[in-house]
């Protein structure tokens, strides 16, 4: 197992605001955190089209719109939904631990 795999503290819950994506670095990975209807989600933060930061984009329900060319992804599944994006983004499990949000990175 890679040293970075497993659960990591991503942010304080208070930093992850409803409808406002938050970009963080976790063990060298760029991750976007989201809070929608009091549920938390985490995805890769780099758009698979031309590497814009999704945390700079607009969150519309459970869809994140890339700020560069307006491609959309489902933050629950990572699915690329609209042109020009074609490649899905990774999604990561999240859990609440006290006042912190934790993200599980894969191997």
**Site for ligand FES contains 47 (CB under 6 A):** yes
Q: How far is the CB of 56 from ligand FES (least distance, A)?
A: 10
Q: How far is the CB of 59 from ligand FES (least distance, A)?
A: 14
**Site for ligand FES contains 71 (CB under 6 A):** yes
Report the residue from 24, 32, 42, 66 that binds ligand FES according to the rule CB under 6 A: 66
**Site for ligand FES contains 46 (CB under 6 A):** no
- Label each residue of the chain as H, E or C: CCCCCEEEEEEEHHHCCCCCCEEEEECCEEEEEEEECCEEEEEECECCCCCCEHHHCEEECCEEECCCCCCEEECCCCCECCCCCCCCCCEECEEEECCEEEEEECC
């Amino acid at each position: 197992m890679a040293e970075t795999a497993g659960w990591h503290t991503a942010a304080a819950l208070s930093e992850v605001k409803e409808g406002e994506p938050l970009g963080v670095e976790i063990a060298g990975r760029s991750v976007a955190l989201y809070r929608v209807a009091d549920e938390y989600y985490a995805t890769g933060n780099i758009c698979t089209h031309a590497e814009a930061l999704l945390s700079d984009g607009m969150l519309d329900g459970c869809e994140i719109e890339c700020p560069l060319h307006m491609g959309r992804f489902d933050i629950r599944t990572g699915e690329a939904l609209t042109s020009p994006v074609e490649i899905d983004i990774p999604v990561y499990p999240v859990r609440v631990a006290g006042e912190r949000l934790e993200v599980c990175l894969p191997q």
